[in-house]
């Protein structure tokens, strides 16, 4: 099987390119890279993450909802839970709609919304999950073993 090298970019359909570009540059610090008129390309230079914002003629419009088939949310990584706290403070200061940080079995999550109500998330993996990911990259672990470890971890949390 050919190798899967990773995610190249994410493209979001938006209702207002200027408003969306302003949000992603001012709130998340992405930098404008290219403008094709109906599509704008933004980049996070440190990580290389590319985000395309697209305005489609004839689009149905209306706010985003996870209940439609397609994108549920866009999840982005934070290095630590402390970084999530910094993001939460930033969102509060900028008036971004968000839910408080949630600590779950494998990671801490900070969910927020863009101007089109698109669901976004920062997550910071905990030590258990980070260890598993490192192990998965080092060797081929059978799916049954992975499921058993996940269930054991969840049960140990009560």
Whole-number mean pLDDT of the chain?
Answer: 88
Q: How many domains is the chain partitioned into structurally?
A: 3
| Res 156: pLDDT | 77
Which domain does 133 fall in, by range? 128-158
Place of tokens 């839970």: 81
Whether residue 92 lies inside any domain: the answer is: yes
Same domain for 121 and 133, yes or no, is no
| Res 138: pLDDT | 64
| Res 6: pLDDT | 81
Angle at CA 129, nearest 5°, toward 105 and 3?
A: 130
Which tens digits make up the pLDDT trace of 89-104? Answer: 999 999 999 999 999 9
Q: Would you give the distance in Å from CA 56 to the centre of its chain? A: 22
Residue 33 has pLDDT above 90, yes or no: yes
Same domain for 15 and 56, yes or no, is yes
Whether residue 70 lies inside any domain: the answer is: no
Residue 143 has pLDDT above 70, yes or no: no
Cα-Cα-Cα-Cα dihedral sign, residues 130, 78, 123, 21: negative
Whether residue 20 lies inside any domain: the answer is: yes
pTM: 0.83
């Amino acid at each position: 099987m050919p190798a899967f090298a990773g995610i190249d970019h994410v493209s979001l359909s938006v209702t207002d390119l200027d408003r969306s570009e302003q949000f992603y540059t001012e709130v998340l610090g992405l930098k404008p890279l290219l403008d094709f008129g109906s599509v704008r390309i933004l980049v996070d230079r440190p990580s290389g993450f590319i985000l395309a914002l697209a305005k489609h003629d004839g689009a149905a419009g209306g706010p985003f909802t996870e209940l439609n088939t397609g994108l549920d949310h866009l999840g982005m990584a934070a290095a630590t839970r402390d970084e999530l706290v910094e993001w939460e403070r930033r969102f509060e200061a900028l008036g971004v709609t968000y839910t408080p940080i949630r600590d779950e079995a494998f990671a801490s999550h900070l969910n927020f919304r863009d101007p089109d109500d698109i669901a976004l998330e920062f997550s910071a993996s905990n030590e258990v999950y980070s260890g598993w990911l490192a192990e998965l990259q080092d060797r081929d672990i059978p799916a049954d073993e992975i499921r058993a470890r996940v269930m054991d971890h969840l049960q140990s949390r009560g």
